[in-house]
Amino acid sequence: MSAVTPTVAAEGERHPIDAALAARLAAIVGERRVLYRTGELLAYSSDGLPGYFKQPSIAVFPGSRDEVIAVVRELARAHVPFVPRGAGTGLSGGALADGVVLLGLNRLTTILSIDAANALAVVEPGVVNVALSRAVAAHGLHYAPDPSSQAACTIGGNVAENAGGPHCLKYGVTLNHVVALTVALPNGEVVTLGNAAGESDGYDLVGAFVGSEGCFGVALDVTVRLARNPQAVRTLLADFSSIDAAARAVSAIIASGILPAALEMMDAATIRAVEASIYAAGYPTDAAAVLLVELDGPTAGLDADVSTVVRLCRDAGARDVRVARDEAERAKLWQGRKKAFGAMGRISSHLVVQDAVVPRTKLPEMLARVHDIAERYRVTVCNVFHAGDGNLHPNIGYDANDPDESARVHAAMREIMQACVDAGGTITGEHGIGIDKLPYMNAIFSEESLSAMCALRQVFDPERRANPGKVVPVHSCREWQMAPAARTGQH
Amino acid sequence: MTATSPPRTAAVAPAELRDAIREAIARQRTLRVVGGGTWLDANRPVRAETTLPVGTHAGIVEYEPGDLTLTARAGTTLAEIARATSANGQWLALDPLGDPSRATLGATIATASYGPLAHHFGTPRDMTLGVEFVSGTGDVVRGGGRVVKNVAGFDLTRLVTGSWGTLGVLTEATVRLRALPAVETTLLIEIGSATAELERARTTLRALPFVPLAAQLVDAAARGAIGAAGARDAFVVRLGGNEESVRAQREQLRSVGDARDVEPEIWLRARVAEPARAAVVRLSQLPSRFATTWCDAGRITERWPGSYRHGDPGRGVVRVVLPVDESTSNGSLRAALEVPFEGTRIYERLPTALWPALAPTAMHGAIDRGVKAAFDPHHLLNPGVLGELQ
């Protein structure tokens, strides 16, 4: 038996590195695929969200489905907690934990099958989001959820986080595109959820698993629905001299009943960051805000919708609305949006990428509040977000080594989150709870609701070893409080 | 309904309902949850000591048209939601079977019922944003929220959608609305009965540059039931969009076959056409095998007088309806239902005696049973409806 303490890992708790366990894992995946020296683990101590540093005890990188199952079973035998990880692009600290085994799935990159006739694909969890769209492009298909990190993030990670992206406004989030999954439960048992070739009865366990942030097990393969490429696409850039006018245009477009494929907003700070970077997209640098609106679908009737959107933008006070003339211009407009986070990274050493949602009619009011809060705390907020969904991403660049600035940034963020909750919104639209949003869970869910979530997790992972300490604050889990293991830290 | 939202009510379940559930739990009394009573004979028979009527817990709680979301108590009828939303040019794009003036939002979500509009819009799981329910432990639980995008916490909304009231009693739900299409039209295209001809029509329909709001294949008997009588199988296709787009869609649809206009009431008639007593099964397979599924379903209907089938080529599902009465022989009904079919059979309605033989349970594994035990540990809610194992 290993010396690793079998336990529900509490925040900050470190487990002793277990050489025997590392050796057994190496026997499964090979010496080169097991890391346990501090220096080697450094790259796996943080993810896409700065400010958290958590060191796993061992990082293991299986290269096949069978190896994943064998690793999960080995960890189950040893009662060792683990955290699954895709590409590490997560923005909520979801794939981080101190002292646990980090299970990297980024080597499982095989697209197992493409069924163009039924617009389905079966992929391994490490397949990069954009690689799937590229692989099915020849069939006139694509994978619709398109997080901004799509060039790097994996389908497995997307499933864990129920990832979104600009085009989810029209096409839906990851949940709406996952048909079935094969999952290794934390105890090593392999189960199939959903039915890849038809309907299912019983509970919607696919729905429960998608967005479970690695707490319910490890996806071994994912059957996803593909979307047909639209016959025509129109991409518009509307230029506003005030944020409020842009926000009002968003509300007017949504209320009109036209459902754009995407409806994105960028404010002046974001525009300047993008235009000063290699991703310069030709956004007007003197604009207070721009809207990137994409309409797609059959050619017939599309331009009528384009005209309506142009009119609604002008009515709201747009100085100019231009329609991309060709694919190159369209790609350039989108590159600026998708690489906006990267562009901000040039300006400051650290960046808080925030994620919250408000009812869409509350956007003008909420953006004004965000502005006020930023001024009060003397921080610069860059807003770049999915306006059509009411999904805000207020980002603040700062220097984490400046304690005063860090404190102001975090206080401002807390206030912004509370304002979104007060407006009837929620604390995350697509990035997940991870560890970053844990303190806010009580603001939107009662103890009874949190306890029900714990009970669900308990079904998938009775030993609570999969991504411990995430999503639901441990103190909210009454079963856990009662369980002897939680009291004594032992089984 | 005006564009101003009604006042928000307290974010707890109506206390009376919660207390009734808690009392039943305290007394360990089994409960049959009843909304509008539309689907009482659907799914496996429930053996419960008490009926819990939730249909009176009705009313729209919050509706801000500009948000395209609506929150209503579980007993609110789909007709009431349609009235409120259509006044603002919007709709809840769900058309499950049953009279919409009786069918409730809660039951629609609890049973995950859908109709022809699922072809374009998906099923209740795709448009339910948040729920409130009283679990079998007596807890008032909320999942999701009231905004269109939300990944906070584990997804209890999906968990209770389609759980047939076995995990908790739904008290409130928030749903995503859509704008009503500016123009709508319904067309009927007759096709020949040969599998190859159906397959050609299906692939042509699928290759069109638009996805119709609904596309149902109906056989001759089904056509009679919905008031579009004719001897051949036919696609009934519902188009929507702006004027120019619908004009083009109508034109493009001609590549599938000769299309003629039919009255839009056909869709409502289809919802209420079902015989009061019937056995119903859905056959599902990949859409590419739809023609085969349709023919396999035809082997059921040819054995059963008065039966009919309708199906969604996009979803690959064919629904077969077989009228039954006191004189029905369960043996011959079973023989008809069990024609060879390589795919998934989901039974909706069956004579009580046939459930154990044809579909003893929907609880397929330890996770299903674990979920049930976690949310309704005493098996008090709709016992038996999913055939849960004791």
User: How sure is the predictor about B2, in pLDDT bands with cuts at 50, 70 and 90?
Assistant: very low
Contacts of B248 in chain A (CB under 8 A): 298-301
> Judged by CB atoms within 8 Å, which residues 129-188 of B form the interface with A?
135, 139-143, 145-159, 161-163, 167, 178-180, 182
Cross-chain Cβ contact B139/A452 below 8 Å: yes
Scanning the structure block, which residue is given the tokens 């959903």?
A: A194
Tokens describing residue A311: 């009119």
Tell me how close the Cα of B362 comes to any Cα of chain A, in angstroms.
Answer: 5
Compute the nearest-CA separation of B66 from chain A (Å). 5
Amino acid letter for position A35: L
Q: Does A112 touch chain B (CB under 8 A)?
A: no
Query: Above 80 in pLDDT, residue B201?
Result: yes
Choose from B131, B137, B154, B155 for mutation: most chain A CBs within 10 A: B154
Using CB atoms, pick whichever of B151, B359, B371 lies closest to residue A459.
Answer: B371
pLDDT at A350: 87
> What's the pLDDT score for residue A18?
83
The answer for A 388-417 residues in CB contact with B (under 8 A) is 389-391
Cα B315–Cα B318–Cα B323 angle in degrees, nearest 5: 150
Q: Which listed CATH number (3.30.70.2740, 1.20.1250.20, 3.30.420.40, 3.40.50.720) goes with A348-431?
A: 3.30.70.2740
Locate the domains of chain A by residue range. 19-104, 111-228, 230-347, 348-431, 438-488
Q: How many CB atoms lie within 10 A of CB A315?
A: 12
Q: Do B370 and A459 touch (CB under 8 A)?
A: yes
Q: What is the pLDDT of residues A83-109, one digit of tens each?
A: 999 999 999 999 998 999 999 999 999
Q: Is A37 helix (H, G, I), strand (E, B) or coil?
A: coil
pLDDT score, position A51: 81
- The alpha carbon torsion through A469, A472, A473, A476 (nearest 10 deg) reads -130
pLDDT at B10 over 50: no
Taking only residues 295 to 314 of chain A, the set having a beta carbon closer than 8 angstroms to any beta carbon of chain B reads 297-302, 304-305
Rg (CA), chain B: 21
Distance CA A108, CA A155 (A): 11
Instruction: Give the phi and the psi of residue A122 in degrees, each rounded to 5.
Output: -115, 125
Residue B359 pLDDT exceeds 70? yes
Q: By the 8 A CB rule, do B390 and B35 touch? A: no
Q: Where are the alpha helices (DSSP H) in chain B?
A: 15-26, 78-86, 105-110, 118-121, 124-127, 156-160, 195-207, 220-225, 243-253, 265-272, 290-301, 330-337, 355-358, 366-375
pLDDT for the residue A342:
84
Residue B1 is predicted with a pLDDT of 35
Tell me the per-residue pLDDT of A296-310, one tens digit each, with 9 for 90 and over: 999 999 999 999 999
The answer to whether residue B317 neighbours chain A at the CB level (below 8 Å) is: yes
What confidence score (pLDDT) does residue B277 get?
Answer: 94
CATH topology classification for B274-358: Alpha-Beta Plaits (3.30.70)
Domain B15-179, architecture per CATH:
2-Layer Sandwich (3.30)
B residues 72-101 near A, CB within 8 Å?
Answer: 89-90
Token pair listed for A269: 């700070």
Q: What is the CATH number of domain A111-228?
A: 3.30.465.10
Architecture of the structural domain at A19-104: 2-Layer Sandwich (3.30)
Q: What is the ipTM of this complex?
A: 0.95
pLDDT of B311 above 90: yes
Tokens 């054995």 belong to residue: B303
Question: Between helices B366-375 and A447-460, what is the axis angle to 10°?
Answer: 160
pLDDT tens for each residue of B111-153: 999 999 999 999 999 999 999 999 999 999 999 999 999 999 9
Q: Do the domains at A111-228 and A230-347 have one common CATH topology? A: no
| Residues 229-268 of chain A whose Cβ lies under 8 A from any Cβ of chain B | 230-231, 251, 254-259
Q: Cα torsion at A285, A327, A151, A433 (round to 10°)?
A: 60
Find the mean pLDDT for residues B330-343.
97
Hey, what are A111's tokens?
Answer: 């697209």
| Integer-rounded Cα radius of gyration of chain A | 23
CA end-to-end span of chain B: 47
Contact criterion met (CB below 8 Å) for A383 and A394: yes
CA distance B168 to chain A (A): 11
CB contact under 8 A, A455 and B375: yes
Of B367, B372, B376, which to mutate for an interface test with A (greatest number of A Cβ within 10 Å)?
A: B367
B142 to A471: CB separation less than 8 angstroms, yes or no: no
Q: Of the CATH numbers 3.30.70.260, 3.90.1150.10, 2.40.110.10, 3.30.930.10, which one belongs to the domain with range B183-271?
A: 3.30.70.260
Q: Does A476 touch chain B (CB under 8 A)?
A: no
Task: Decide the pairing of beta strands B168-176 and B69-73.
Answer: antiparallel
pLDDT tops 90 at residue B382: yes
Mean pLDDT of all residues in chain B? 93
What sign results for the dihedral spanned by CA atoms B105, B111, B115, B118? positive
Q: Domain locations in chain B?
A: 15-179, 183-271, 274-358
A197–B285 CB contact, under 8 Å? yes
Provide the CA B195 distance to its chain's centre, in angstroms. 28
User: One fold for both B15-179 and B183-271?
Assistant: no
Lowest mean per-residue pLDDT among A8-17, A429-438, B49-58, B364-373: A8-17
* CA distance linking residue A350 with residue B188, whole number of Å: 60
Each residue's pLDDT tens digit, B63-115: 999 999 999 999 999 999 999 999 999 999 999 999 999 999 999 999 999 99
Distance from CA of B262 to the nearest CA of A (A): 23
CA B244 → CA A305, B250, B251, B252, distances in Å? 10, 10, 11, 12
Give chain A's residues under pLDDT 70.
1-17, 478-491
Write b or e for each residue in A171-198: b if 16 or more Cβ atoms lie within 10 A of its Cβ, otherwise e.
bbbbbbbbbbbbbbbbbbbbbbbbbbbb
Return all residues near B303 (Cβ < 8 A) that are at least 6 apart.
B332, B335, B336, B339
- CA A17, chain centre distance (Å): 30
What pLDDT does residue A16 have?
Answer: 56
CATH of domain A230-347: 3.30.70.2190
Residue B322's Cβ-count burial label (10 Å; 0-12, 13-18, 19+) is buried
B369 to chain A: closest CA residue:
A459
| Token pair 């509370």: residue | A418
Q: Which residues of A touch B163 (CB under 8 A)?
A: 203-204
Q: Specify the 3-state DSSP secondary structure of B90.
A: strand
- Inspect the interface and report whether the beta carbons of B152 and A118 lie closer than 8 Å: no
